[in-house]
Structure 1
Amino acid sequence: MKRPLVIGIAGGTGSGKTTLTRELSRRFSEDVTVLYHDNYYKRNDHLTYAERTQLNYDAPEAFDTDLMIEHLRQLINGEAIECPVYDFADHNRSDETLTVVPRPVIIVEGILIFCFPQLCDLFDIKLFVDTDADVRILRRVKRDVIERGRSIESVETQYLATVKPMHELYVEPSKRKADLIVPEGGHNNVALEMIINRVERHFR
């Protein structure tokens, strides 16, 4: 069995990582499996809801990346995994899991995935989606308020307290690990075609 092509897609919050991931998933449909770093936030059952809302979710230590690395290796070896599911409304990992099966292309998406050398070593292609900070914050507000039920005040507080400083400390420097920097993510048709061509070569 041919080793899967593993693509890491990083970039700041609201940069367009998910749009790029969706475009590749749409193009290659049944041949793609996606792992989201967000699902690997650590479980914090020992904390109250109020305490969980105060945690820094934009630092590397907020994630159980060791588990993600273990799961990614299993997928590369042709084994299905039970991926954790994170509940953003509850600020905690849910009791559900999602069965993820190995496929010829594995996409790993997350803001901080390039900050972990052991994870980077498993990527064949590292893409960094680079988008203007004003665009990213507007997208984040829209997503968190509409999709995740947050108040505008809580989104603003979190952005200023942790999202922005952690982006500058961890996310922005991690773009140096990328093989390709993609402005505007899935909306960049030229870059998207180049990436699609590279993936298509994997099937030859």
Structure 2
Amino acid sequence: MQTRIVAAQFPRTHDPRTRSFQTRYPELRVTDQDREQVVEHVKAAFADGRIDKFEMDERLHRAMTAVTHADLVPIMEELYGAGRPKLDPAVPPPPRYGYQRRVAPKDAGDRVGGAAAHLLTLCGLIVIGPLIMLLTAGRTSPYIRKHAMESLNFHLTVLGASIVLPFTVVGLVLIPFMWILGFVLAMVGGVAALADGEFRYPLTLRLIK
């Protein structure tokens, strides 16, 4: 089970167990699901008029780039006050490795954005396309961010291999097949994103996380 941000309501009284939990496990890495829940709180605060557009963008950026729970808790405290608990102490902390819940798109726009992160590479934007999606729509959508990072890492791997392989005996022969495979996999990734699915490129060095 995973540590989760309480999304529905906050208890009126402070629970000392929650304070202990927050200070004891601040180094735990967050999941995409954790980031997505905080993003929803930030958007709700903007819709209620409690924060302005600049404050929303700044908090969304912090939420989407958070690494540990210590990065997410201050955002929730800014929205609701430091005296209210943000994490559910009844749920044990998540393992550092293993299965994590997949990130689902919020609407059709997320699916199109996720697909664009893959399909823009077919237009010649080999690395630039996924990078643009990561730095724009990926800042507010965990679904687009996940697909953009996967596409970016794969095409960085292909680009790096294209530079290194010519120095090997069979490298020049393999490069055309590698690029053809890359185009095919990009199309498969785009279709998977449109179909509300996940896609992982094979033989990929995932340098961007």
Q: Which has the higher strand share?
A: 1
Q: Which has the higher helix share?
A: 2
Q: TM-score, normalised by structure 2?
A: 0.23
| Higher RCO, 1 vs 2 (CA within 8 Å, ≥6 residues apart) | 1
Which of these two proteins has the greater Rg computed from alpha carbons? 2
Q: TM-score, normalised by structure 1?
A: 0.24
